[in-house]
Amino acid sequence: MKFIKILFLVAFVSAFGQNNVDNQLAAYNFPKIKSSITMPVTIPLSELSNMVNASVKDLIYQDDSYTDNNNDQFKVKVWKTRPIRLVGGTSQNLLIEVPLKIWAEKGIGTLGVYTYQNTTFETVMSFNTTVTFKNNWTITTNTQPNGFRWVTKPVLDYGKIQIPITPIVEKSLREQQLKFCKTIDQQMATQLNFQQYALMAWNTFLQPFNISEEYNTWLKISPAVVNITPLKFYGNQINTTLGIDIYSETFTGNKPAASLPVTAVSNFNFSPTVADKFVLQTTANIPFTEASNMARKTFLNKEFDIRDSKVKVTDIRVYGIDDRIVIEAQTDGYIKGTSIISGIPVYDETKRKIVLSDSKFKLKTTNILQKTASVLFQGKIVKMIEEEYGIPTQELEETSRKSIEDAFNKEYYKGLKMSGKVFNLKPSKILLSNTGITAVIDTNAALKLLVNGF
């Protein structure tokens, strides 16, 4: 039986910006971030039952000789009448029931003269299988006989003489049951070897994912350690949880080279619990053209009262110099000239805006008298800029949250569903380039991969 290939897909969508040449990311060396992904794994016992049934033929045992076993004058055939049934025990074990139909023929006589009579009866053969998940990604089982339950007992009917042959049949079946135990263990060991799937999943992780075509941003995940909780057995399934400690790296520009594939996967660690927090840094871009448009909507044609006269903002633009955002406002009226306000961009979590801190002011004007009034004007315009100017990030945050959760909650392949939720998402650093503002966004989320079958 072939198990499903476990593929790990992590897709994140960054949404904000314009489709033009201004959308170039600022150069930034993203840190390598340690985080974790959890994968609750459910193994339906019906799947294991299918595996066992596929490995066991309907005709389980056949003895066609009267003279073997010390001339026992006994023939027997054993069939599986219904699918073999598996039930989860309470001590990392499986209870296996095999319903059987048995045909038996016994010879009664002496000195080589025998009268033969046959009968058909049914029983249920029971097994107890202990399951051990080894840290080299294999599962071993130890299956032991657990007796019989007769549905109808075997009796040879010779008319006046009825001969119970239960002891003879049980002896033969016990011998066969011991052989059957070995068959079960061999099949389990072959089918429940997860080494190749762990290796495939590990190497899949090493391929970089494009998380934003618009900004040419790549996410690279490097698995480090795998932790697994003990197997839990229930009536119809086996549960465990895989916790994968990873390092996530974000790159901009050309696709980064994948790490060299591994040829052997490392052993995992057993752990009572596993971490379930996924941490990622990604980016969103605000071109200065867009930042200027935001400023114009806020301040264009705005007026100030200076010494019983008016000062009006006639134009405004936003650009960057070094680590500071510069707002250049053209004014007319009592003060005619160019006001330059610069500040270090920071994220204001309360306002949910990128605002200016450590503001500096400079006035360019040819009128000396206006320069004497600049101190009064400076106080008003700087206060206005600091209080009212800001690049809203609420839409960016909500759009990014929705995009990430949409990517988290999908069934990419039948039987493999990704499930996740973003708990916190906010800009942590503000970077400047020649063309725009880059917000580095920290995302804290829980990411799970639900495996619902093989």
pLDDT digits over 89-132, tens only? Answer: 887 888 999 899 988 887 777 777 787 878 888 989 899 999 88
**Residue 137 belongs to some domain of the structure:** yes
CA 5 to chain centre: 14
| Pairing mode, strands 324-333 and 337-348 | antiparallel
**Residue 396 belongs to some domain of the structure:** no
**Residue 146 belongs to some domain of the structure:** yes
CATH of the domain at 166: 3.15.10
**Residue 386 belongs to some domain of the structure:** no
Instruction: Tell me the one-letter amino acid at 310.
Output: K
Residue 320 binned pLDDT confidence (cut-offs 50, 70, 90): very high
Q: Is pLDDT at 332 greater than 70 in this prediction?
A: yes
Tell me: the pLDDT tens digits for 11-26? Answer: 222 222 223 334 444 4
The contacts of residue 154 (CB under 8 Å, 6+ apart) are 102, 104, 119, 121, 164, 165, 166, 169
Q: Which residue matches tokens 């040879």?
A: 156
Tell me: the pLDDT tens digits for 276-318? Answer: 777 777 777 788 888 898 888 888 898 878 777 888 899 999 9
In terms of residue numbers, what domain contains 174? 45-191
Which tokens belong to 264? 């052997």
- The answer to whether 246 touches 413, Cβ cutoff 8 Å, is no
**Residue 149 belongs to some domain of the structure:** yes
**Residue 76 belongs to some domain of the structure:** yes
Overall size of the chain counted in residues: 454
**pLDDT over 90, % of the chain:** 8
Q: Residue 402: CA atoms inside 13 Å, Cβ hemisphere, count?
A: 7
Q: What distance in Å separates the CA atoms of residue 287 and residue 246, rounded to the nearest whole number?
A: 33
Residue 11: per-residue pLDDT? 22
Tell me: the pLDDT tens digits for 121-164? Answer: 898 989 999 988 888 888 889 999 998 888 988 887 777 777 78
Q: What is the pTM of this model?
A: 0.58
- Residues 421-447 have a mean pLDDT of 84
- The total number of structural domains that make up the chain: 1
Q: 99: helix, coil or strand?
A: strand
- The answer to whether 224 touches 205, Cβ cutoff 8 Å, is no
Residue 4: per-residue pLDDT? 25
Q: What distance in Å separates the CA atoms of residue 298 and residue 319, rounded to the nearest whole number?
A: 16
**Residue 123 belongs to some domain of the structure:** yes
The contacts of residue 160 (CB under 8 Å, 6+ apart) are none
* Residue of 261, 141, 266, 194 lying closest to 5 (CA atoms): 194
Residue 53: per-residue pLDDT? 81
**Residue 53 belongs to some domain of the structure:** yes
| Pairing mode, strands 237-252 and 217-228 | antiparallel
